[in-house]
Structure 1
Amino acid sequence: MKNLGFIGMGNMAQALAAGFIKSNAIPRENIFAFAPNQEKLAKNAALIGFTPMQSVTELAGRCDTLIMACKPYQIESVLTELGAALDGKNLISIAAGWDFAKYQTVLKTDTALQFIMPNTPAMVGEGVLLFEEKNTLSPEDREQVKKLFAAVGLVQELPSSLMGIGGTVTGCGPAFVDLFIEAYGDAAVKYGLKRADAYRLISQMVLGSAKLQLATATHPGVLKDNVCSPAGTTICGVTALEEQGFRNACIKSVDAIMNR
């Protein structure tokens, strides 16, 4: 990979570009971007460090690897506008719903494809980057792309059939965790903590608990049991959650998405 170009510069593209530059995964002078709102693009370029381009065709002419980061409904028109300019390029799509199979129905050029599903914690270098196993990148280019995305989080390969559930738990999951943080924040405020302190303490607790599980690979149930002393306070709280159907509610939230 020589030059990397972003087609679109929304929040996720900004997070990725900033993460790539901050981690020195790719030099800032090798990152380019195009977005229709040139004024906003210029401001983001000055803030993040990439080079803004005036058209998508100019971007494609400058870059060997392109990241499709525009709105999903814009993709077909972008592909039409680029046309043969995509020949020989690597195209990385982070647009929801645009997996390998969907691109195959509309892409008429000799372009190497890779679908990746990122999530919002990539903005702070703690994302999950799901790589669809089915792709047409060369082995060398794919390893390079994986190394690049690893700069902003955990890279995980999944077969096409599991990208949906993987994307649901990692892409929608942050909203569920945020709801959890907000709810426990309300409880803490109810009993006297200032809201800012409550959110900071609870968010750190969530972060620490997640890191402990990742570091030890211990079953979450075991980690839960380790905190629950006989006749103690924690087991009382766990019992209250179970009485309210906490785990079933979590599963149902995923069912609602998968069966929508």
Structure 2
Amino acid sequence: MDKIGFIGMGNMALAIVQGFINSHKINKENIFAFAPNQQKLQANASKVGFTAVASLKELVKACDTLILACKPYQIESVLSEVKDELKSKALISVAAGWVFETFHAILTDNVRIQCIMPNTPAMVGEGVMLFEKTNSLTSDELTQLKELFSALGIVEELPTNLMGIGGAISGCGPAFMDLVMEAYADAAVKYGISRDTAYRLVSQTMLGSAKLQQVTKSHPGVLKDAVCSPNGTTIRGVDSLEKNGLRGACISSIDVIMDFKKK
């Protein structure tokens, strides 16, 4: 993976590039990108340090590894334009909804493929990078790729049949966490705390609670019990959340996503 080329340069691609560069695992001089909006691409290139190129075919010819970061509906037209140039290249997709077999049906066997599903916290190095277990990369390429993406958060490998649920949890999950943060911040504001302070208190509480579980590897229920004193305030709040169906609402939010994906 000497030269990496990004097809598309939206927010997620930009976060990935910044993570790669900040990790010092690849020199910015070896990162290239193409996007239709050349003005915006050039501006980001000047700010971040990658090299902007003027055409898709120029990008594919210049790089041995391509990261497909365009919108899912654009993929087929992109592949049709550079299908021949992709031969003997490694193609890494970060587009939602596309898996190995989808690409393999379109491309020839001599294009090496890996599908990855990142999430938005990758922008601050705290993302989840879901690697589809089925891929055609060489073992060295897969090792290098996992090392690169580990700069953006944790790397988890899932079989194809679990990529959908994995994406629902990690891909959609940030929006659900944001809703919880907003709700508790609203409660803080209701009782007199300023909005900025409320967001700081709530986001740090969520961040700290998640970190505590990761470090201790304790069951979340055990950590919850440690805060709930007998006849105390916290257990009353927990009781209210249970009565109002918090667990069921969380599970149902994933059910509706999975049902929608089946359509």
The TM-score range, normalised by the shorter chain, is: over 0.9
Q: Distance in 1 between the 2:192 and 2:25 partners? A: 45
Q: Distance in 1 between the 2:171 and 2:154 partners? A: 13
Q: Distance in 2 between the 1:216 and 1:54 partners? A: 49
The amino acid that maps onto 1:138 is T
TM-score (norm 1): 0.99
Structure 1 residue 83 displacement after superposition: 2.0
Conservation of the 8 A alpha-carbon contact between 1:60 and 1:66: yes
Conservation of the 8 A alpha-carbon contact between 1:227 and 1:234: yes
Conservation of the 8 A alpha-carbon contact between 2:87 and 2:108: no
**Secondary structure of 2:26's aligned partner:** coil
The amino acid that maps onto 1:259 is D
Q: Paired residues, what number?
A: 260
Q: Distance in 1 between the 2:31 and 2:210 partners? A: 32
Match of 1:5 in 2: 5
Structure 1 residue 62 displacement after superposition: 0.9
Q: Distance in 2 between the 1:53 and 1:98 partners? A: 26
Q: Distance in 2 between the 1:86 and 1:138 partners? A: 16
The amino acid that maps onto 1:118 is P
Q: How does 1:102-117 map to 2 (within 5 A)?
A: 102-108=102-108, 110-117=110-117
**Secondary structure of 1:229's aligned partner:** coil
Deviations 1:164-218 (A, max 9, x none): 1001000000000000000001000000000010001100110110011011110
Structure 1 stretches of 4+ moved >2 Å = none
Match of 1:185 in 2: 185
The percentage of aligned residue pairs carrying the same residue is 62
Q: Distance in 2 between the 1:51 and 1:212 partners? A: 40
Say what the alpha-carbon RMSD is for the aligned residues: 0.7
Conservation of the 8 A alpha-carbon contact between 1:84 and 1:109: no
Match of 1:143 in 2: 143
**Secondary structure of 1:67's aligned partner:** strand
Q: Distance in 2 between the 1:140 and 1:166 partners? A: 25
Q: How does 1:199-214 map to 2 (within 5 A)?
A: 199-214=199-214
Structure 1 residue 99 displacement after superposition: 0.7
**Secondary structure of 1:86's aligned partner:** coil
Deviations 1:59-88 (A, max 9, x none): 011110000000111111111110211011
The amino acid that maps onto 2:258 is M
Q: Distance in 1 between the 2:101 and 2:217 partners? A: 34
Structure 1 residue 108 displacement after superposition: 3.2
Structure 1 residue 238 displacement after superposition: 0.3
TM-score (norm 2): 0.98
Match of 1:131 in 2: 131
The amino acid that maps onto 1:227 is V
Q: Distance in 1 between the 2:83 and 2:184 partners? A: 51
Match of 1:86 in 2: 86
Deviations 1:212-251 (A, max 9, x none): 1011110000000000000111001000000100011000
Correspondence 1:170 to 2:173: no
**Secondary structure of 2:215's aligned partner:** helix
The amino acid that maps onto 1:220 is P
Conservation of the 8 A alpha-carbon contact between 2:32 and 2:50: yes
The amino acid that maps onto 2:135 is N
Conservation of the 8 A alpha-carbon contact between 1:83 and 1:109: no
Structure 1 residue 109 displacement after superposition: 5.7
